[in-house]
Amino acid sequence: MLISLEPSNRHILHERISDRFNKMIDKDLLINEVKKIRKKWNLNLNLPSMKCIGYRQTWEYIDGLIDRNTLKEKSIIATRQLAKQQLTWLRNMNEKIIIDCLEKNCVQKILNLLKSTF
């Protein structure tokens, strides 16, 4: 059984992506994380691990190549693009059960579905 969690409203998805990144940046969570891993490991921007969304942009921010607002904007855009790619990939999958991940009872729906299947 394939369960696909898909948002019914792309605007709400975009708002949640923006909110999440704004919180991570405003509280310096992502910035501190990247600073710590840069200090601990011998990394550079060419490594696959530094191509993760947010990491590359944060690296550029720490190095003074972009400002904080650009860090947010670039990270949010990259996350939205990834979400769009994932939804396109999911749409092309056959025989799936779609659950709206924006519904408040989403987790309960999944649990009920799993209970009824097993």
- Tell the residue number behind the tokens 């910035």, with chain if given: 31
Judge whether 36 lies within some domain.
Answer: yes
The predicted-structure confidence for 8-37, as pLDDT tens digits, reads as follows 999 999 999 999 999 999 999 999 999 999
Q: What is the CATH number of the domain that holds 84?
A: 1.10.287.890
Judge whether 42 lies within some domain.
Answer: yes
Per-residue pLDDT, 94: 87
Judge whether 3 lies within some domain.
Answer: no
pTM of the model: 0.80
Domain boundaries, position 53 = 10-92
What is the tally of structural domains in the chain? 1
Judge whether 108 lies within some domain.
Answer: no
The predicted-structure confidence for 31-84, as pLDDT tens digits, reads as follows 999 999 988 998 888 888 888 888 899 999 999 999 999 999 999 999 999 999
Judge whether 27 lies within some domain.
Answer: yes
Judge whether 30 lies within some domain.
Answer: yes
Distance CA 106, CA 117 (A): 17
